[in-house]
Homo-oligomer: A and B are copies of this chain.
Amino acid sequence: MNRYVYLLEEAQGLDRDTLGGKGFGLVEMRRAGLPVPPAFVVTTGACRAYLKEGRPPEGLWEEVEAKVRALEGLTGKAFGRGADGAPPLLVSVRSGAPVSMPGMMDTILNLGLTLEGVEALARATQNPRFAWDTFRRLVQMYGEVVLGVEAQAFEEVLEAAKARRGVPDAGLTAEELEEVAFRYLGLLGERGLDFPMDPWAQLRGAVEAVFRSWNNPRARVYRRIYGIPEDLGTAVVVQAMVFGNLGEDSGTGVGFTRNPATGEKGLYGEYLRNAQGEDVVAGVRTPEPLDRLKDFAPGLYRELEATAELLERHFRDMQDFEFTVERGRLYLLQTRSGKRTAQAAVRIAVEMAEEGLITREEAVLRVDPNALPALLKPAVDPASAPLPLLRGLPASPGAAVGRAVFSNEAAERYASEGLPVILVRPETTPEDITGMYLSQGILTARGGLTSHAAVVARGLGVPAVVGAEGLKVEEDRAWVGEKEIREGDLLTLDGSTGAVYLGEVPLLEGRGAELLERLLSWAEPYRTLGVRANADTPEDARRARAFGAEGIGLCRTEHMFFQEERLPWVRKLLFGSPEEEDEALEHLFRYQKEDFKGILRAMDGLPVTVRLLDAPLHEFLPPGSEAEREANPMLGFRGIRFLLLRPKVFQMQLRALLEAAQELKREGLDPRPEVMLPLVSEPKEVERAKDMAQALFAEYFPIPFGTMIETPRAALLAEKIAPLVDFFSFGTNDLTQMTFGVSRDDAGRFLPRYLEERILFADPTETLDLEGVGRLVRLAAEEGRKSRPGLKLGLCGEHGGEAKSVLFAAEFLDYTSASPYRVLTARLAAAQAGLRKVRA
């Protein structure tokens, strides 16, 4: 016969899948010697059997009864019955699936109490008010959770009682609470429902209700969405009640072993005197900081400090624990690893390693690389933040305060007076680049996380909030509903959270760089994947190098074309007469050569991969010529298509690069340029471009010649393309857009809803889609290396600085390339990948 029920002391060695998360935590706490009220766990196996057969498995109730008897023994109380002046044994019944799962039955407290028991409890505690309140709570919870009565019905009864007296709950007398309890019972009777006055019946009802709640519609939807197996089942924890509401020397609280916001070591949390757990949740009274216990209960505080120490030592991580104090005595009811901010995560990991609690390797693995960019940036102080005016997508981390401007001109005007500005636009285009450079923050009404505004802002390291629904931007003002924002109005935005505030909100400066450096120094030895940066200017290149970039993986020459003084020449080049074209080429050649020299100098001795011109042509159109716009510029006349049909542009760019390198070599430097083709979809394109390049290589010197793989077709034909080049660089931005058939600029209309409704689990423009896009990348890498052994492989989309994507890249690529502020993320993620490989 299967065994389904275990006392905590019997359950050592059973796993989380059998005991559920809550049960497992209790067993471990008990094992660590912490004060845990006696309890037993009904395993997930019992639940599975129940759901399969439609009834409890044979022998379950006998086992449960035996364990209740054991609890009686351990507590010296009798279940549901007062005996010998002792209060009755009451229990809490909680669900506890192996995975945390909303939608299931949560908790019934005080179970086992009957009318008879109330009397005994009142007698034993000498507190009839407490006894009736306890009963009243049980009837309500049981009615709601087991019998399915709407909470509203109970609330109305309680509200009416309070209204009669004009007091809060705690103000009701024993008699009044008794009346409420009886009204509750009546309310159930009216519905033909029966509150069992037998403690055993209550227990059976509650356990079965937990079992059944596994199949609540909300729980099912949740499992389907999150891919949680249907057949896990939930465990049930039955635990002897302790009471935090037995007076001023009782209470309930939540503790963290370290500060979850800053990571600072030391007890942190909240406490509510004379209350049961659910009173904290109900928010009727405001809890006080745990610190306060130092004054009125220093012994308890010391005990909690010792508990925190013990929990960390046992679980080897920062813990978030729940406790109750019954008449001065501490009981622990739950523990789990605590959620924390990015800053706290780094600090906790580093300090725990230095305290010897965990190894340095563990510390390296504990920090989410994606959280790093935010660490270096100022943030809105949550303590003093008002309600946001509106919310958009957190496109570029960091917070900024500045004056709203709606044009380049206004940005220049304010900047020349030394005033910080926030550029507010419907969406940005290359036209806005001056304003973006001058801004402390960027706010757009449209666009997704990889829209022009988002990409440029991240490149510049400027905080940005994009796609702020509800924001209407006009020429010289903006509206949020009825609220007008005029030029010069102060705005605060937080690009890490997406919040936008009216006025100036205090900011916290970015901290943690030093701890982060320490963490990275531990991580680096495990990293095998190269990390380069996407950078288009010498400043970006220097910044990236400072963050540890080992080269430039993507230098986008079109970004150089966008600079305001060059735009007229670019337009002449693209749309002018042949004479104008030649004149423009001469000018742009000189600009580009200087650009390249600057970048190559900043990256002296490291590779710099220059991608030849690739911008949808419409981005260069003079204002007012929108009619010439392409229907789908993403899929239009750009990249290699343009370069092959306008060979002079190709030659000008490559010559500028080669000449820049030549001049630096003469200075004794070690420039390492590489040239890369954009938007290839056909091997012949590469062949033709290579012919042109080789003519120039013959004139100067050869440099590595490669191609982006950013159309699905290029990936599918990698085997034919590879022999023509020295390297592939996977442009996962475009590759994602084309593989999904989703334009990053238009995704805002449905992608947020897709994520909300879990049609997609992650934004594929942010986290590389492994099943689709990743499959193409892997296929191209394999087939490319097959036909060209030694082919160098890199990744240079926005994904190049996203942790999960870097993990994927580390499996088989040579390097990843990230925007400068994401270089740290890439380094840590790549190190984690290496570390995991070493461990496996």
Contact = CB atoms under 8 A, between A and B. Distances in A.
A441 to B, nearest CB: 23
A711 B741 contact: yes
B740 A630 contact: no
Contacts of A743: 630-632, 634-636
Interface in A631-649: 631-637, 641-642, 644-645
Given A635-B737, A741-B734, A745-B632, A645 B750 contact: yes
Interface string A335-366: 00000000000000000000000000000000
A25 B711 CA distance: 47
A316 interface: no
Contacts of A750: 637, 641-642, 645
B682 A760 contact: yes
- Identify which of A711, A716, A745, A769 gathers the most chain B CB atoms within 10 Å of its CB: A716
A637 to B, nearest CB: 4
Contacts of A52: none
Contacts of A757: 644, 688
A642 B753 CA distance: 11
B775 A716 contact: yes
Contacts of A772: 681, 712-713, 716-717
A754 B637 CA distance: 12
A742 interface: yes
Nearest to A737: B635
Interface in A766-789: 769, 771-773, 775-776
Contacts of A1: none
A635 B747 CA distance: 8
Contacts of A682: 740, 759-760
Number of copies: 2
Contacts of A754: 641
Contacts of A645: 750, 753
Interface in A647-685: 679, 681-682, 684-685
A313 interface: no
A635 B634 contact: yes
A34 B75 CA distance: 119
A682 B757 CA distance: 13
A334 interface: no
A760 B743 CA distance: 26
Interface in A75-102: none
A692 interface: no
Interface size class of A (residues with CB under 8 A): 35 or more
A771 B681 contact: no
A586 interface: no
Interface in A685-741: 685, 688, 710-713, 716-717, 720, 734, 737-741
A172 B772 CA distance: 77
B636 A746 contact: yes
Given A716-B772, A716-B776, A772-B716, A746 B644 contact: no
A749 interface: yes
Contacts of A711: 739-741
A631 B633 contact: yes
A772 B680 CA distance: 13
Contacts of A681: 739-742, 772
B637 A746 contact: yes
A383 B510 CA distance: 82
A633 B636 contact: no
Given A682-B760, A741-B679, A759-B684, A746 B716 contact: no
Contacts of A720: 771
A830 to B, nearest CB: 26
Given A641-B750, A685-B759, A760-B684, A635 B742 contact: yes
Contacts of A740: 635, 681-682, 711, 713
A80 B746 CA distance: 79
A642 B688 CA distance: 41
A670 to B, nearest CB: 36
A682 B753 CA distance: 14
A759 to B, nearest CB: 5
Given A750-B641, A759-B688, A631 B634 contact: yes
A637 B740 CA distance: 12
A570 to B, nearest CB: 18
- Identify which of A635, A642, A776 gathers the most chain B CB atoms within 10 Å of its CB: A635
A632 B450 CA distance: 14
Given A734-B741, A742-B681, A769 B635 contact: no
Given A632-B632, A682-B740, A716-B772, 17 more contacts: A630-B749, A631-B633, A631-B746, A632-B633, A632-B743, A633-B746, A635-B740, A635-B742, A636-B749, A637-B750, A642-B750, A684-B760, A688-B757, A710-B741, A712-B739, A720-B771, A738-B741
Which A-B residue pairs are the 4 nearest by beta carbons?
A635-B743, A632-B743, A631-B745, A713-B772
17 contacts: A630-B746, A631-B634, A631-B743, A632-B633, A634-B635, A635-B743, A636-B743, A636-B746, A637-B746, A637-B749, A641-B750, A645-B753, A682-B760, A711-B741, A712-B741, A717-B772, A738-B741
